[in-house]
Amino acid sequence: MALLHKSIIYLLAVIISVPISKRLGFGSVLGYLCAGILIGPFGFGFVHEAEHFGDAARPDVLRAAGAAHAKILVIATAEMETSLLIAETAKRQFPNLTIIARAHNRRHAHKLMDVGIDQIFRDTLLSSLAMAESVLGRLGMGESEVRQVSDTFREADEKLLLEQFALRDSEDKLIQSAKDAARELESILERDPEGQG
């Protein structure tokens, strides 16, 4: 089946499955999973196997996948070492390619930063913030205050990630930095939510 036809099928499955799943209260992730099952070999069989080019850490595979003409490369592999190999290869072979990468944790983020990747999304940060927002809201905190607390934490955490990048080779300095940042964040969050005192 042509790539255009597959793309249309993927899009239609998602357009149908995700809103239904959300309306039933199951969330969008389950909708995406349902879409995959429906169009896959165990559903209607529109898609029989995944497109696979090979090892993306190899320059010839990246080139065959179109990296030389691509605007963006997204690295979202499950293995940290694999993602680092892909990032290193892509940066070396295609220096003008924008790379957006998934990091499993802070150490992985720092290793990606070592390679020169600056668009990094950590696995649990956004879901942790969303969960914290839900808890704070259910405990009676107002929506704007919840947003303020979440934004303050996110900004402090991003600042800390960058500061700790410079300290990444010293575990003692990283630990002290984390303790100092926790005290500073606690002090900031104890102030008035509007930042007035």
pLDDT per residue as tens digits for the range 73-130: 999 888 899 999 999 999 999 999 999 999 998 889 999 999 999 999 998 888 889 9
Q: Count CA atoms closer than 13 A to 138's CA, side-chain side.
A: 6
| Domain boundaries defined on the chain | 3-39, 59-122, 125-190
What are the structure tokens assigned to 135, written together? 């808890």
Identify the helix (H) or strand (E) that includes residue 127: helix 125-138
CATH numeric code, 59-122: 3.40.50.720
> Tens digit of pLDDT for each residue in 1-27?
466 666 677 777 778 887 887 888 877
> Tens digit of pLDDT for each residue in 60-79?
889 888 888 888 999 988 88
Residue 74 bridge partners (DSSP): 100
For residue 103, with 0-12 CB atoms within 10 Å meaning exposed, 13-18 middle and 19 or more buried, which class applies?
A: buried
DSSP class of residue 74 equals E
